[in-house]
Structure 1
């Protein structure tokens, strides 16, 4: 597997980053808001890439097998933004998330043709966007424990451009691939305030209500109140996404720790 294949799939995996679990909620008559930029140090394992269908309906060629860590993605990132915004009022919760990523890389690959040895300069550029919009309602509230149910929609778009400039008289070529899809999801969110400064939060989420065949997410977090308006959020997340579109497959498991900084107002 070449480096180009690794970068293509790891970049898409980073785009599956979803919203950081909301902080401990206090019922209020007025809207309360929080803004959270965050980073998820995700490791990615699965398969992704372009494909075609053979005469028997089999996938040909098969997508690339992926096993990539967070550092490989960071080394090739040109621009990235991960941001969550949430609002709460009484028993209601609304949140939206926007993620944008641009990565690029280049490599030289040697090969043999009928006329002898040759090489190619390969330039890769990837851009992608994820947008989540969701709403929830508080079904259980006690002195230190709360439970929400929520539902939402996730939109994902990926564009990949590969430029190949080969020696040996072979003409340069441009390859463009990617896809976009929309998926619905439902989940539960719990929060347990176990001290003045710390709370324990969980999210369990099931997708596959749109274009995606399967989607799951399990999330645990510790919220650390460091001042009246500021929090740190330490979390660990497992996410599974299985999408097969018209000529493009993305079937990945993404796991790892993360951290966010929240401002409430």
Structure 2
């Protein structure tokens, strides 16, 4: 007779290690689930790979627009010859070289630059207003006879210079860079002449004529050249900037050159340079020759 514990014991006992769960003879559900999971995993992997592949790399500062503004003080000697039209002839007033600060009444000087990668745009503007200064005047076409002698002459000069250009870096390395540049330079000039003479005519008669004349001219010149800098120290802080261009248009010929020394800091640069700018006109223009040359102190702010 069975005891109470034997009555509820299973007729067959499977060993613990041999117990299995018996599934139905055939079912598509586990296979479909596995396939679905595999497809989903593959999709996620492809999506993540594409996302990381198209994610932007670390931003390169050279691929972003960079801007700079440079207020500066240029202290050149100014010299040249201005031709004034007069009834029956003309008068050439030769000015300078004279002290820039002694006669300067008002000045604005400002440069700007925008750069992205190898490409750059730049601008330069100057407004000058000089007071009266002594000049040497010669009459042309025998206006006052063959024995003309100067007694006194004064001229005034106002000028606006605007320069716009663009460039592309053609050479660069650990030593510095070279940019090829092209652009347009505008010079607007307004000048007056007040002169008096003591003159003797061919017959020996002495006269004292006076001349009061004014003239203005707008000059548009295209130019091409190079600019850049050469590093002096390994850390790139000390460098030598340089600039040169040549051109022409309204004037017969114009050219400009600059070099000096600069020091770079986190916020910008400070430089001391020497700059030369010249215009050469034709015989019928107000500006026969005009030259500016002297040192310049420049402070560049970058952002």
- Is the contact made by 1:51 and 1:247 (CA closer than 8 Å) also made in structure 2? no
More relative contact order in 1 or in 2 (CA 8 Å, sep 6+)? 1
Distance 1:244 1:91, change over 3 A: same
- The match for 2:109 is 82
| Counterpart pick for 2:296 among 255, 258, 261 | 258
- The match for 1:144 is 175
- The match for 1:205 is 245
- Is the contact made by 1:140 and 1:147 (CA closer than 8 Å) also made in structure 2? yes
Deviation at 1:244, TM superposition (A): 3.0
3-state SS of paired residue (1:228): coil
Aligned mates of 1:207, 1:247 — CA distance in 2 = 17
Residue by residue, what CA displacement relative to the aligned partner does 1:178-223 show, whole Å, maximum 9, x if unpaired? Answer: 1111000000113112223211121121111x11111122221211
Residue by residue, what CA displacement relative to the aligned partner does 1:32-58 show, whole Å, maximum 9, x if unpaired? Answer: 11111112221234422324798xxxx
Distance 1:206 1:67, change over 3 A: same
Aligned mates of 2:285, 2:80 — CA distance in 1 = 17
Identify the range of structure 1 (26-35 vs 133-142) with the bigger mean alpha-carbon deviation. Answer: 26-35
- Is the contact made by 2:85 and 2:213 (CA closer than 8 Å) also made in structure 1? no
Give the number of the structure whose residues are more often helix, by fraction: 2
- The match for 1:160 is 191
Distance 1:43 1:123, change over 3 A: closer
Deviation at 1:125, TM superposition (A): 5.5
Aligned mates of 2:61, 2:245 — CA distance in 1 = 23
Distance 1:51 1:184, change over 3 A: same
- The match for 1:68 is 97
Structure number, greater radius of gyration: 2
Q: With the length of structure 1 as denominator, give the TM-score of the two structures.
A: 0.69
- The match for 1:100 is 127
Deviation at 1:239, TM superposition (A): 2.7
Distance 1:61 1:179, change over 3 A: same
Whether 2:72 is the aligned partner of 1:38: answer yes
Q: With the length of structure 2 as denominator, give the TM-score of the two structures.
A: 0.61
Q: Note the aligned Cα RMSD (angstroms).
A: 3.3
Structure 1, unpaired ranges of 5+:
1-25, 55-59, 108-121, 165-171
Q: Which ranges of 4 or more aligned residues in structure 1 deviate by more than 6 Å?
A: none
Give the number of the structure whose residues are more often strand, by fraction: 1
- Is the contact made by 2:130 and 2:157 (CA closer than 8 Å) also made in structure 1? yes
Aligned mates of 2:273, 2:111 — CA distance in 1 = 14
For these two proteins, the number of residue pairs brought into alignment is 214
